[in-house]
Structure 1
Amino acid sequence: MVKTSNGSPYFIPLLPPSYPLAVRNPYLSAWLPGSEAANLPPAIPEFWIGQNLFGFSGNDASITPAQVVSGEYTSTRTIFVVTTGKATFTLDLPFSYLTVTASSQDGLPIQVYSAIDSSWTGHFEQNAPINVTQTTSEINDMAQWGRVVFASRKPDTSTNFTFTTGPRDIVQAHFVNGGESSNPQDASQSDAITAFAHGLGSVKTATAITFVIGHYHGDAINYKSNDRTPYFRSEYGNPVSAVDHFIDNYASAYSDCGTFKSKLHNLAISTGCGKYRNILALTVRQVFGAIETTIPSGTNPANMKDVMVFIKELSSNGNINTIDIIFPVTPLFCVLAPEYLRLLLEPLVQYLNTGVVKQVFPLHDLGTYPSATGHDDATRNTLWAGLAGTYTPLLQKYVDYLSVESNGLYIPTQLSTIDYPGPLACQTNLAIKAAVALNALASCLNYSSELYNGGKGGLGPRCDSGLTHFTSQTTDMHNCNDFAFSTTWNLYPDVLLGLGTFPTSAVAMQDAFYFHVTGADAGLQYTWRARPVIGGHFAMLARQGADLLE
């Protein structure tokens, strides 16, 4: 918990760099900078890449801004408590719900207002279009097609429910003066907003009002020149039916969120600590906010047997189903939803199986979101498991490729997953990856024995005379020192899958070594032979490999 003095807000479990608000898929990804959490009324939420989105507004001189009491995030919800006078409000955002819970000691009359503008559609120009029907494309990572859904419903606790569209200043002034949003204005103006207002009357007990924000797109992604649609459209084929169900399902979703949060909390504490739990709570929302589950498109999509999951590389250039992205999220999906790993790999192997890629190693990604049209760029080795059967000939090709020493054990100058150090030769971590991949492939193909024994083939637990750690290069094991290392996170899948490519003593040795080279503040450096780069998520992968042995 972060708690400031003099009655200032407190934050649970800590004050993050950014709070997830509505984080549902690559195009509904609204965040609030942590630096603005203590002064919520004038704060401006942001799209994940940094564009300002229209949100709360507390700059009107005639409005007394509320005071923030607390902020909290979990793996499923973000909660802010604010107070004004003797009334208290709780803003609760599980997934893409915005719930405002109001209470008052003296039965004060309360009105609740919420609004959005065209920035939520990815359009910041003047006279932005209300309905965007352009085919799949992006500008600055924001979708230029589909519809933004903003909805609310009059509950029994609301005595007056109104809505309007019009110029921002006029709409807000109308609410401030009369407590409602009515008399629609010109929606085509550059500063037009859409607003809802709930009049709750005199409130004594806690009363909740729910709003819904979402991005509805019939076509989610183009895969091999065929459009694919979000999975939910098999059940809810239009925005109205989808939002009706979403509102109706609030109580069930709220309960499920609580159950999930508790299970994840307990799991994080049992395997790590409170700090690990705090990181994991944000990580879950980041991961699921980057993926979309799809089926083939159509007027009435119903092919539930052809399910594919696509993940957008939000950290850099928007690549689709990048191998280097799927691997780091493997631990999360292994625990929460193992089937997602197969669904993420399925688009890749289907594309590879067409024969378009002429190299004898897998491709790096499927293209740039939202066009998974593929290309023939490839990465030299990766971990393939659980894909035998239909793809046996494809996997055999990769076995043959990695079995050549210059493609696996002694790889020429090559980029790694962390590419900041630039291309490097004979990277031990890549050699470990190749060795583990070979044994994973052997398991998939039902070979009688392992294809590679890391303990006897040049990658064993030796570097200096004290046998303290793996060398950073497969060729310098007799010419290294206490700082000649790289983070060997590719040991993790070997332990996870129980392949036994490397002896447990090698994993334990490397784990013990990390404590001697980890910076007190920054963490574990990726490699000693390039400028310091901290790969925190990969350091966790390396640590998890050791944890699985304990």
Structure 2
Amino acid sequence: MFRSKQVHFDEDSHSYDLWERGLDRRLSEPDRAWSSSQTLTENGSPNLTNLSNQCNTTVGDVVTHQFSLQNQTQFGQVNGRLRYGRIVYSTEQVPRLTCQVGAAGVVKPAFQTTGALNNSVDPQSRVIQNNWPTVAFAHNLWTVLSTKTPPIVYTVGYIRDPLVQFPNLSNVNNLRGPYYLTRFNSISDMITAFLNDYTNALACATDFDSKLFTDALDITPQVNDYANMLVLSVRQMFGNIELTSGWDGTTYVQTDIMAF
């Protein structure tokens, strides 16, 4: 999850157009690394779609881009990169939001010219080097009259189901899926809840960071670097934990929880 916030410190009003994109050769290297050119050539091209029909209306809560490998292998990996699942890239549905899926050389110049995107989806699946497929959002903020505006929030997620194979007491591998599937009816519902929880999540994270930093300073009061490293390390640890639920043959069981 990340955000963009506009602040100005004079007494004048200002107009803003905000552009965000993913799976781009310059701006989103982690996504490109997940589906690098070498492994794409060996195992298939990315399939890019838009979960919503359009993104310039005020109907619905969230707009999501998703992209995935066209040819997938469950639990397979190449060079340490998983070969299944999909990446979802979302933002809240607000007035004057536009989006586009297409070639980077087409999408970015269109925004630079008009300050908006045309809500179209390029249906062609292709290797990453072929016209550099990009998924993008554009927010037209119009005129900002105050020194602070509500933040624009984006989320990036990696959806896999199942998550792991785990042997039971009889040494038989059981599939375990995302725990959140026991709490939400769909991925879209989960993304909406995640975005809506942004303010609370930010407050909790800020409070936790502050307490952890203070406790670390009690151990090494003269070394701020240690405290900062500890805070960053714990964030990464939390980010690497996946909560899973066991599969009973019909559905994932809410009370069967394991963390990996």
TM-score by length of 2: 0.73
1:186 to 94, 109, 122: 122
Of the three residues 174, 178, 181, the one matched with 1:233 is 181
**1:128 match:** 46
Q: Greater CA deviation, 104-113 or 166-175?
A: 104-113
Structure-1 residue corresponding to 2:65: none
Match of 2:160 in 1: 217
2:231 aligns with: 281
Does the alignment pair 1:242 with 2:174? Answer: no
Displaced runs of 4+ in structure 1, greater than 4 A?
A: none
Structure having the higher Rg: 1
CA deviation vs aligned residue, 1:11-61 (integer Å, no higher than 9, x gap): xxxxxxxxxxxxxxxxxxxxxxxxxxxxxxxxxxxxxxxxxxxxxxxxxxx
Unaligned runs of 5+ in 2: 25-29, 49-67, 168-172
Q: Give SS of 1:129's match.
A: strand
* Partner in structure 2 of residue 294 of structure 1: 244
Q: For the Cα contact (< 8 Å) 2:164–2:175, is it kept in 1?
A: yes
Higher relative contact order (CA 8 A, sep 6+): 2
Equivalences for residues 12-91 of structure 1 within 5 A:
none
Provide the C-alpha distance between the structure 2 equivalents of 1:237 and 1:145, rounded to a whole number of angstroms.
22
Indicate yes or no: 2:5 matched with 1:101.
Answer: yes
Written as runs of structure 1 = structure 2, the 5 A alignment for 1:505-544 is none
Task: Give the distance between the partners of 1:270 and 1:178, measured in 2 at CA.
Answer: 54
Q: Given the alignment, which residue of 187, 197, 203 partners 2:138? A: 197
How many pairs align? 210
Structure 1 contact 103–204 (Cα < 8 Å) conserved? no
Asked if the contact 2:98–2:119 (Cα under 8 Å) also holds between the matched residues in 1, the reply is: no
Give the letter aligned to residue 2 of structure 2.
L
Q: How many angstroms apart in 2 are the aligned matches of 1:115 and 1:140?
A: 26
In structure 1, what is the Cα distance between the partners aligned to 2:162 and 2:227?
Answer: 36
Matches of 2:119 and 2:208, distance apart in 1: 43
Partner SS for 2:195: helix
Q: 1:31 maps to which residue?
A: none
Deviation at 1:109, TM superposition (A): 1.1
| Alignment root-mean-square deviation, CA | 2.2
Contact 1:187–1:193, Cα closer than 8 Å, also in 2: no
Distance 1:253 1:244 in 2: 14
Partner of 2:202: 254
Cα distance between partner residues in 2 of 1:147 and 1:198: 24
Compute the TM-score of the two structures, normalised by the length of structure 1: 0.36
The SS at the match of 2:116 is coil
2:156 is paired with a residue whose SS is: strand
Deviation at residue 276 of structure 1 after TM alignment: 2.2
Mapped pair 1:174 → 2:80: no
Deviations 1:57-101 (A, max 9, x none): xxxxxxxxxxxxxxxxxxxxxxxxxxxxxxxxxxxxxxxx11000
Distance in 1 between residues matched to 2:211 and 2:195, nearest whole Å: 25
Task: Work out the CA distance in 1 between the residues paired with 2:144 and 2:250.
Answer: 46
Q: 1: CA distance between counterparts of 2:181 and 2:212?
A: 29
Output the CA distance in 1 between the equivalents of 2:81 and 2:184.
Answer: 24
Q: CA offsets, 1:117-139, max 9 Å, x none? A: 28627222364233445312222
* Deviation of 1:172 (Å): 0.5
Q: Please tell me the residue identity of whatever aligns with 1:146.
A: G
Give the whole-Å Cα distance in 2 for the aligned partners of 1:197 and 1:162. 5
Q: Which structure's residues are more often strand, by fraction? A: 2
Deviation at 1:231, TM superposition (A): 2.0
Quick check: 1:293–1:307 contact (8 Å CA) kept in 2? yes
Bigger shift: 129-138 or 278-287? Answer: 129-138
Query: In structure 1, what is the Cα distance between the partners aligned to 2:103 and 2:23?
Result: 10
Match of 1:267 in 2: 215
Partner of 2:53: none
Cα offset, 1:187, TM superposition:
4.0
Q: Runs of 5+ in structure 1 lacking a partner?
A: 1-96, 311-550
Tell me the secondary structure at the aligned position of residue 102 of structure 1: coil
